[in-house]
Amino acid sequence: MKRLAGEIHQHQGQRALTVVAVLTGSVVLLADLIRLLEMPLRVGLIQARSYRGAATEPGPLEIHAELLPPIKGRDVLLVDDIFDTGHTLEGILPQIQKREPRSLHSAVLLRKQKRQQVAIEPDHVAFQIPDEFVVGYGLDFQDEYRNLPYIAALEPHELQGPPSQ
């Protein structure tokens, strides 16, 4: 996380920054990241989801931007938990760009290898991971496991049914 924050500092300097986190998976990342950023900053939220229920493959992207603060003329950093196919980032960036920020960059905790289906790339990546379904540190499976203080890959048989209770 310190390396990611360092990259952002190197790019942004001490210019004010609006950090926009994608709900719900990036809330843990958001909390840890903003504690490491030293420039003046504001925080905003945007909700996007493409996984529903027991799905392990993304569906149509739904975006809700009602929680965004005014960002016109501001430097904005979009923070997301995972860059998988890339469709979430590809869908959200134009929604934010419509609000006329001065600059717009992206940071992700995880970039899954061999899954990308879009031409865009995140500007900052904390970790590259193999093509496995991961949970923890904000990432979930059927709304479970977000609270794990680490990231873990689920085994294929664990993706077949509901999580244990």
| Helix 27-36 / helix 2-12 crossing angle, nearest 10 deg | 60
C-alpha distances in Å from residue 4, one per residue of 29, 49, 77: 11, 24, 12
User: Helix or strand or coil: residue 37?
Assistant: coil
The Cα–Cα gap between 165 and 162 comes to 9
Signed CA dihedral, 58, 1, 76, 11: sign only: negative
Residue 28 phi, psi dihedral angles, 5° rounding: -70, -45
Out of 75, 80, 81, 84, the active site residue is 84
Q: Classify residue 145 as left (phi > 0), alpha (psi -120 to 50) or beta.
A: left
Cβ-Cβ contacts under 8 Å for 49 (sequence gap 6 or more): 24, 61, 62
84 is catalytic: yes
Hey, which residues are catalytic here? 84
